[in-house]
Structure 1
Amino acid sequence: MYKFNILVTGANGQVGNEIQELSAYYVYKFYFASKDELDITKLDDIKNYIRDKNINVIINCAAYTAVDKAEEEVELAFDINKNGVKNLAIISKEKNIKLVHISTDYVFDGKNFKPYLEDDKISPRNIYGKSKLDGENEILDINPKSSIIIRTSWVYGYYGKNFIKTMLRLGKERNNLAVVFDQIGTPTYAKDLAKVILDIIPFIKNENVNIYNYSNEGVVSWYDFAKEIIHMTKLVCDISPVETKEYLTPAIRPHFSVLNKAKIKKEFGIKIPYWKDSLRDCLERLGEKR
């Protein structure tokens, strides 16, 4: 008999895949559901899926994450990031299930001058951020017991499409790349995020929903991040810094979205890896470290 029977939604995403890989090291029973196997926007689908499985934890990795595309696919973004999350919160409240939901630094406007705390003012500047904030608010309103929201930033990893894979591809194809230097934050290695979620599950015991920040340690711009990727892989490609105004995208990005992780470190006694160490590990897994 397992103490924790865990449903992982969005199991084929970056974090979901890392949880699958780490699952062998935990004495938990896992149920991994991809978006094709479980549509979180349909309440009855969730009810049918968890029936007879004795689920007592849901890790929600399912999300609409195409930041620029969300500016056009507004309804779809809100359907997944708000309504889908609402359904999971309803089920969690009804069945007394712990819900661990992954949110984003994009709920902030990026105008801060110091790392964001969990209770700092929220004011998303794009559709993706607004849809994720609405999802957060649904959980807070429904308030399933022993549930948490983890805000994270700049997620990358071994699985799926992400910034480092784009840099690796372009770094091999081109001699020069321009990358924005005036957007500041911290990368998050999906493997590190997955591990911390699995580690803290037994210790999540709160009456009201708690919000935590999590990313790797350190502060960096996208330009610096790209430079380090090229440096570690010894690719011959010159990286040039450009301002955001020279690289316009449909969605507005926050200029500063560094997250203060003091709360999650203190309450769960965790140590967070430095971003360069995690990048090195990821590149080694990808076979790109030189």
Structure 2
Amino acid sequence: MTRYLITGAAGQLGLDLQRALAGREVTALRRADLDVADRDAVLAAVAGHDVVINAAAYTKVDDAETHEDEAYAINATGPENLAIAAKQHGAKLVTVSTDYVFDGHGSAPYAEDAPRDPINAYGRTKAAGEELALAAHPDGTYVVRTAWLYGAGGANFAKTMVKLAGSHETVSVVEDQLGQPTWTADLAAQIVAMLDADAPAGVYHGTNAGETSWYGFAKAVFSEAGLNPDRVTPTDSSAFARPAPRPSYSVLGHEAWRAAGLEPMRAWDEALADAARHGVLEQHDNPESGR
């Protein structure tokens, strides 16, 4: 029987990974259980497992601008340690990365092999994590980049919109940033399908298909939550000055799935409708969440 280890198991993706692996032999470790930056602890934790899925991440994008060392320890040293441990113990490693490894200035979906060119500290640490993990265990490391995650467990944009609707008549949301809203349950299922198919190691893009703006996403969330989408008003990024620059275009291509004989993930709006039916847009407090 395949033995799985999930790191960052209390985040919204970690929780859905546990659901996707229900009935299998799984060790689920939260941040408090395992510091992925501690190599000795990682080597001990990975022993006895066949697959490691790394959902641990420093996800505070703005804070990373002034705490890059802290972000690097989790986002770069962590995946490297897990890759070294996975290779030593003969295990596969799936490490979850981000659209932020690209510059965000594109106009066509980024291919899996497009050059990394991050525009902020968070992106730099995640890009380093990819490179270090692939170098340490090239034959057994899967990098799965994702973006715009929302799920049942933890804070995220979709649930924030529903929460704001309760206290604001209108909500202003930027329409000059494009990406792919992605349901964590779909991503978890895709990762499990990839492993079950024994797909080749390498880089994959784990986002729901299609594209929209944050404004379009917010309107869709309002609609699915039974709220009037006209309460969402468009604005642009200049209205929200933040420490870390954001990519204006974060759409990822999905050719690697087809090359591996797997179907890419379904359309984002179809996934959102399904997520809403499963109660994902309802409010639940969970302090640990992750991109």
Shorter-chain TM band: over 0.9
Q: CA deviation at 1:129?
A: 0.4
Change (3 A) 1:9 1:145: same
**Correspondence for 1:137:** 131
| Match in the other structure for 1:286 | 279
Structure 2: which 5+ runs fail to align?
283-291
When normalised by structure 1's length, the TM-score is 0.92
Gaps of at least 5 residues in structure 1 are none
Which of residues 2, 5, 8 in structure 2 aligns to 1:7?
5
Alpha-carbon deviation of 1:165? 0.8
Q: How does 1:126-165 map to 2 (within 5 A)?
A: 126-165=120-159
- 1:47 is aligned to 2:43: yes
Q: Are 1:92 and 2:86 matched, yes or no?
A: yes
Give a deviation string over 1:21-77, Cα, whole Å, max 9, x none.
2222x5x311111111111111111222234xx211100001111111211221110
Aligned to 1:221: 213
Tell me the equivalent position of 1:248.
241
Q: Residues 231 and 214 of structure 1: is their aligned pair in 2 closer, same or farther, counting only changes over 3 Å?
A: same
Residues 229-258 of structure 1, C-alpha deviation per residue, up to 9 Å, x if partnerless? 112222246111111112111111100010
TM-score where L is the length of structure 2:
0.92
Distance 1:227 1:35 in 2: 34
CA distance in 2, matches of 1:10, 1:287: 20
Q: Distance in 2 between matches of 1:188 and 1:58?
A: 22
| Secondary structure of 2:58's aligned partner | coil
- 1:201-239 Cα deviation digits (max 9, x unpaired): 133354xx5111121011100000001111222224611
The alignment yields a C-alpha RMSD, in angstroms, of 1.6
- SS of the aligned residue for 1:173 comes to coil
- SS of the residue 2:166 aligns to: helix
Q: Mean Cα displacement is larger for which, 6-15 or 135-144?
A: 135-144
- Given residue 125 of structure 2, which amino acid in structure 1 is its aligned partner? S
Residue pair 1:179, 1:222 contacting (<8 A) in 2 also: yes
The answer to which of 110-119 and 269-278 deviates more is: 269-278
2:29 to 23, 30, 33: 33
Aligned-partner Cα distance in 2 for 1:75–1:287: 34
Query: Alignment length, in residue pairs?
Result: 281
Identical-residue share of aligned pairs (%):
36
Q: Flag the structure with more relative contact order, 1 or 2, with Cα contacts below 8 A and sequence separation at least 6.
A: 2
| In 2: Cα distance, 1:16 partner to 1:138 partner | 22
Give yes or no for the alignment of 1:110 onto 2:108.
Answer: no
